[in-house]
Each structure stands twice: as structure tokens, then as C-alpha cells.
Structure 1
Amino acid sequence: MADQYAQSGEDKQATGTPVIRWEEPPEGPVVVLLDQTRLPAEEVELVCTDPPALVEAIGSLAVRGAPLLGITGAYGVALAAARGFDVADAANALAGARPTAVNLSVGVLRAQEAHRAALARGGTSGQAAQAALAAARTLHREDAEASARMAGHGLALLDELLPGGGHRILTHCNTGALVSGGEGTAFAVALAAHRAGRLRRLWVDETRPLLQGARLTGWEAARHGMPYTLLADNAAGSLFAAGEVDAVLVGADRIAADGSVANKVGSYPLAVLARYHHVPFIVVAPATTMDPDTPDGASIEVEQRPGYEVTEISTPQAPALGAGGGVPVAPLGAQAYNPAFDVTPPELVTAIVTEGGAASPVTAGSLAELCAGTRREPLGQGPASGGGGEGRQ
């Protein structure tokens, strides 16, 4: 079950209401989410008292973004255990709520394994639930630390590729604090450039059909006082042609072993434009987004979303008129093609930045080396200095 309520000024951070938190009111533990479908019109929280409510929140995109989905999945397992649900069933439902984002299944498995291990040691159900919660909280903290390190590595890479500062960065979808335990992935790099006085302009794709760029990235950029400009997705080509883009920064929902990147649909055309115009195309994602068990891009399952997301426009301010709750913009009965993601091949990716450093060129070997280095190096240390070559760390 989920309930919504507006959040008061209490318990707000500099970037607004926390995107996710665990609370234990007298009536039992809950997972509280910032409902991202209501932004930017209002900050409303969704209080989830059971795993089905979290599954619904994930499917409706009230909570979204690969790293945050992993954190949500882990908290969902802890909630199932604490509330007396069948943990295995809850884990399966949570992990399958969005198939492309590998972080979701990684977070679910991490909390589930902690729960299993506690039971195997002879612990009580309460102790096992606490073990799952501890695993979720650890993942949450690690993601925040990873975000800070990615920002450092990404800014160092930008300065290396684009000496002199004044970066004009094009980004797609939303990759900030709304998708992360910290300040985000690709957006965190742009924010680091802004704080260093080296961001000249953040170009924000609106990101049809659900406008995550316009609604969410614009909202975050405005809160940080960043110089940003919103554009329709199909206007990106004219920006490249005019020489107004220095680099493209995007996130990822799954990175295959060969370096193929699944990200919000519309990313692949940007990579093609960037290659033609000799502009770096950089992917920023935590190591949990890398999936060595998916060999290549063709093996990535791409989530297909409902057609009404294309045939209608839904915003918090608009009246609900269509079958999907939005304003119809196509004839009744129109068929729609609505993949949530597309896949960019590794040869179009200049670099992949994680908390462990940057892989460039992007190959199976450079990614394997980067992943190994990330596992060896504990989180919490400062970003490595830049340097050329494969498997930059």
C-alpha cells in the first residue's frame, strides 16, 4: 500500500526532499519516496508500506534511475522481511519490475543474500530483516560515495579532453540526485564543472515521451543555479551543426561486457551525432551498472513502455483526459512504438566513467580491467588522477 503526502520544510536537503528514506513509525517500517511523476509542480512523497507498492512505484516511474532503483530494490527486500512478506517472492517481483536496469536486480540480490546469510547462521526473522536493512543502507552509502568519485573522474576527463574550460555539455534524460544516493552520475560531473567555474552551458534534452530532462534535470539545474538551456530532442542536431556542443554526458541503465550501453531512448542518436561532429560522447555510471553476464548489446532486454506515454502528454499541471491519464496528442486508436531505452555500441562511446576511473577506448578488456580496479579499491578515497590509455584508472 502507498500513501502520498506533501513534505514540509523539515528533513529537506539542499537539493530538496530526500529521494528515498527508510522510516519506522509506530505502525511499522515504510520506505518513503519522492514521487518524481509530480515534479516539478510539487514535491510529494509516496509512503510505501509493502513490496507491491514499491513495485508499482518502480513501474510508474515514481522512482527511477538505475542507481536509485538498486537502492530501492534493496530497501524493498528489507521491507518485505520486516513486514513478514515472503522475501523470495518479493525479491522476484521487485527485480522484474524494470528489466533493463541491472542495478535493480543487483540491489535486490544484495539485500536478499544478507537476509539468507543471517538465517543460515541461525538468526531470527527479526535479525535477518535487520541484516537486509543493513545491506540496503550500505548500498545507499556506497552509491553516494561512488557519485562523488565519478564527479571527480568525469571532470578530470573533461578537462583533459577539453583544455581551457568553458565546457558546453549536452545531456539527456535525468542523471542527478533524483537517480542516486548522492548527486548523480552524468549530472554530477556537470555540477562539478559548474562548481569549478568551468561550465559554460548545460544543454538539456527535454527527453520525450515523459520529459525527464525538462521536468527533472531542469528542476535540479535550476536549484543549483547552473546555466542551462532546454531544447526539444530533435533540435540537438542543429546544436552540433552550429558547433555549440563540446561534450555529451549521459548515464546508463546497463553496460554489457563488450561496452554496449543501454540508456534512455534517444541516447544512441546523440552518439551518432557526436561521432559525426567529432564531439566526445561520455557515459557516467557506477560499477553496479556493468553487467559482465550480458555479453553484448543485442543481449540486452529493452523494456517496452505503454503506447499512451507517446500518444498522450502527462504533466502534473495538465488535466487527465486520455486513457493513460494525460492529454491526447494523437488520433484515438493510434499505435505507438515506445521503447524505454536504446543501445549505443562501444565504438561510439569515447569513455565510460565509473567510481574506479575511466575506460577509454571502450573495449571488453578495458572494462574488465576497470571493474577489477573498482573491486580492489575501497570506496571513500579520492578520485584518481587522469591519464591516457586503455582502462584509465
Structure 2
Amino acid sequence: MDYDTVRLDDENNAVVIIDQTKLPGKIEIISLHTAQEIWNAIYLLQVRGAPAIGVAAAYGIYVLAKRMDTEDYDIFYREFVRQKEYLDSSRPTAVNLSWALNRMQRVVEAHSGETVAQIKEALHRESVAIQEEDIWVCRMIGEHGLTLVKPGDGILTHCNAGQLATSKYGTATAPIYLGEERGYHFHVFADETRPLLQGARLTAFELQSSGVDVTLICDNMSATVMKNGWVNAVFVGCDRVAANGDAANKIGTSVVAAVAKYYGVPVYICAPTSTIDLNTPTGAGITIEQRPAEEVTEMWYKERMAPEGVKVFNPAFDVTDHELIAGIVTEYGVARAPYTESLVAIFAEKEKRAREKKEA
């Protein structure tokens, strides 16, 4: 964990990432220069996790903008939008992708009266700011999340919402890392997370590397560890939260939440405000990405493990109903039901602090 999940190599005009498809067996650092390489890296999950995708997209569109060889604003703007829309097509569910790209587009529009060189400098500043904010956001999610647990607690997590999914700390793992620093000695259970095994390959890898007490379990073992009383809270990340608190996260999260509800274990969604989509009323309006069948039938196996021609349903995400969620942990506090009110209050607090910062 001594490497940055995502960073900008401005001198060589590249986005540099850890190729997460090679973990945990190999730590491979790759540089992305072209639109196709950046798009592929997001789609193929070489970079993954909503916040990390947002940072990679911001750096990516900046890298592409640097190469646009024109001094004409209109030509520059048209090409910028074309490349931005292309990158935005790589994954439909994670709202941070479009959020970061739209934020970069607003920079271009806000500086329309300046030279293209000045616009490129503004894009650089904004992309760096997006990453710096991600680090602050994750730490604050960790601080708020830590108030929901006590030393020695058992925590279950699903998929990877750790440092590998962000710039630092992670979202769902931020309370775990801060707790580790402060001697809380949590006992963490990491679901393997079929079919792409992000829990086994990534969460178990990074927590173990950081000295956290982590136990890997198969997805279908979560009920057993809860029934045994080994889990006091569930922390998971998410890719999009609807206005009513429904949360889209890696497939299987809703199963964990339903089981946790039965056993009286609180489920907390760790969500930066950039992941909360107040324009989507409920989870029914969230587009769920469908992934290739080969991820279920062939990936990770030496030989194909399913019959040829069998039908495969492989959604990347499911939506956890807000009634199964005990709280949504953001950088501005913990939202509780009814989420239609508390999430609005969270954004009001965010806007208030932004005004105060501007006035100061």
C-alpha cells in the first residue's frame, strides 16, 4: 500500500494507476496516455471504486485536453466535450464518473474568455483539487463512522471500498484504518465478493498489508458470522445513493443488508456527497451495469466451470432498499431515516461550509 491508487504524471502527460486486475499476485503500475487506454482502464476495472474512478476521469480528461492543439476556444470546447462524453460512457452506474467529468467541463465553460493555455492550467488545478478533496472526504467519513462502533467490534464489509477504491483511507474502510491507528483492534470479515472477487483480491490484501485483523469469508457465510455474534456493524461503500436513501453497490450488498436486518446488525453506507444523487428519486431509477458472462463462467478458473451455452445473468450492482440501511455516513455527518430529509440537510450543511470558506 505504498503506491498511489491513482496519480497524475504531468511531466509525461499520463494518468498512473495500480492495475487492480493483477492484484494480489502482482503489483503492476501502468501509465494511461490515450482516451482508449483511459476508457479501457475504467471499463476493465483496472481502476475501480467510485471515488478512484472520479479522480482518474478528472486526470484523464485533463491529460487529453493538454494534447488538444488549437487556440480556438470553440474548437477546443467541442473536442473537450467529445472526449468527456466518451470517457463518461465507460461505466454507467458510478455517479462519480459523470460528476468529475461535468465538474471539469464547468471549468472550461467558466474560463471561456481566457486563452486555451489558461484553460488547461485551470483544468490542472481542478483535477488536483478533486483528488485532494477525495482524501479529506474519506478521512471525515472515517471520523464519523468511528462514532458508530467501539473498540474490539467485529465489522463486516463487502467488495472493496478501501484505499484501492479511493485516493487514501477508502470509504467503508476509513473507520477501520482510523480505528487501527487509535488502537481499536477491530476484527474485520471481508466477503470474497463474487464474481470478480474484489473482497478476496483487494480488501483482504490491503487490510492484511496494513496490519488489520481480517478474516476472508465466502459471500454465503455472512449469515453464519452474524448469527455467531461476531459482527457488530456492516460498513460498505456505494456507487450511487438515490434521494430516498436507496443505495446501489456491488452485487450481493442487498443480500448482506437483508441478513443483517434479520440478525439486528446495523448496516452503514459510506458515501461521499459526490456519490449522492438527489436527482434520482429512488433506486429504481439507477442504471445497473450488466457485465460479460465470462466473468461468471470462466474468470479465475483454470478450466471453464459452467456448461457451454448456459444462460448467465451478471449484474455488477444491486440496490439496497433504504429500509435496510441504519445510516448513510458522509463527510458532513451521518444521515438517518427519513433520508429524503436528512440527505437534503447534509447538502445544506455542505453548501453552508462552502459559503463560509469562500467568505473567509
Give the TM-score normalised by structure 2: 0.93
Q: Match of 2:337, as an amino acid?
A: P
Contact 1:78 1:130 in 2 (8 A): no
- How many angstroms does 1:200 deviate by? 3.4
Residue 252 (structure 1) aligned with residue 245 (structure 2): no
- What is the match of residue 6 of structure 1? none
| Contact 2:176–2:186 (8 Å) recurs in 1 | no
Instruction: Give the residue type in structure 2 aligned to 1:366.
Output: S
Q: Does structure 2 retain, via aligned residues, the 8 Å contact 1:352–1:362?
A: no
1:90 maps to: 83
1:128 aligns with 119
- Greater shift, 195-204 or 258-267, is seen at 195-204
**Could you tell me which residue of structure 1 aligns to residue 318 of structure 2?**
342
User: Is residue 272 from structure 1 mapped to residue 237 from structure 2 by the alignment?
Assistant: no
Task: Identify the residue that residue 267 of structure 2 maps to in structure 1.
Answer: 281
Aligned residue for 1:62, secondary structure, equals coil
CA contact (8 A) 1:168 1:199 kept: no
Tell me the equivalent position of 2:26. Answer: 42
Q: Which residue of 2 aligns with 1:106?
A: 99
Per-residue Cα deviation, 1:99-146 (whole angstroms, up to 9, x for no partner): 11001100011112112222x12x222221221121111010001011
- Tell me, yes or no, if the aligned pair for 2:180 and 2:212 is still in contact at 8 Å: yes
Q: Partner amino acid for 2:227?
A: A
Deviation per residue, 1:139-181 (Å, 9 max, x gap): 100010111111000001224xxxxx21100000011111112
Gapped runs of 5+ residues in structure 1?
1-14, 160-164, 320-326, 382-393
What do residues 298-351 of structure 1 show as CA deviations (whole Å, max 9, x unaligned)? 00101111111001133xxx76xxxxxxx4211122221111000011111000
Quote the offset at 1:46 in angstroms.
Answer: 1.8
Q: 1:24 Cα deviation (Å)?
A: 3.1
Amino acid at match of 1:143: D
Identity of aligned residues (%): 39
| 214-223 or 354-363, larger mean C-alpha shift | 354-363
1:117 partner amino acid: A
Q: Measure, in 1, the Cα distance between the counterparts of 2:353 and 2:24.
A: 38
Report the counterpart of residue 136 of structure 2 in structure 1. 145
What whole-Å deviation, never above 9, does each CA across 1:234-262 have from its counterpart, x for those lacking one? 11111122222111100010000111000
Q: CA separation in 2, counterparts of 1:362 and 1:196?
A: 32
Show the 5 A alignment for 1:1-393.
Answer: 15-25=1-11, 28-84=12-68, 86-118=79-111, 120-121=112-113, 123-159=114-150, 165-314=151-300, 327-377=303-353
Q: CA deviation at 1:378?
A: 5.0
SS at match of 2:248: strand
* Mapped partners of 2:198, 2:189: distance in 1: 14
Measured at CA, do residues 178 and 362 of structure 1 come closer, stay the same or move farther in structure 2, by a change above 3 Å? farther
SS at match of 1:313: coil
CA displacement 1:284-308 (0-9 Å, x = unmatched): 1111000011110100101111111
Tell me how far 1:271 sits from its aligned partner: 0.6
Larger helix share, 1 or 2:
2
- 2:4–2:167 contact (8 Å) kept in structure 1: no
Q: Distance in 1 between matches of 2:131 and 2:35?
A: 18
Say if 1:72 and 1:107, in contact at 8 Å, map to a contact too.
no
Checking the alignment, whether the CA contact within 8 Å between 1:283 and 1:352 is kept in structure 2 is: yes
- Tell me, in whole angstroms, the C-alpha distance in 2 between the residues paired with 1:91 and 1:99: 14
| Equivalenced residues, count | 347
CA distance in 2, matches of 1:89, 1:351: 38
Question: Separation in 1 of the partners of 2:204 and 2:230?
Answer: 19
Report SS of the residue matched to 2:148. Answer: helix
> Is contact 1:171-1:203 (8 Å) kept?
yes
- Measured after TM superposition, the shift of residue 98 of structure 1 is 0.7
CA displacement at 1:373 relative to structure 2? 1.0
Instruction: Indicate if the aligned counterparts of 1:152 and 1:192 stay in contact, CA closer than 8 A.
Output: yes
Q: Is contact 1:303–1:341 with CA below 8 Å preserved after alignment? A: yes
Q: Give the 3 Å change call, closer, same or farther, for CA 204–53 of structure 1 in structure 2.
A: same
Change (3 A) 1:268 1:67: same
Runs of 4+ more than 6 Å apart: none
Alpha carbons of structure 1 residues 215 and 362: separation in structure 2 relative to 1, 3 Å: farther
Quote the Cα distance in structure 1 between the aligned partners of 2:33 and 2:173.
31
Specify the SS of the correspondent of 1:157: coil
SS in 1 for 2:186: strand
Question: Which 5+ residue runs of structure 2 have no aligned equivalent?
Answer: 70-78
- Equivalent residues of 1:51, 1:79 under 8 A apart: no
Separation in 2 of the partners of 1:62 and 1:214?
16
Give 1:349's aligned amino acid.
I
Equivalents in 2 of 1:194, 1:171: separation in Å?
A: 16
Work out the CA distance in 1 between the residues paired with 2:101 and 2:175: 27
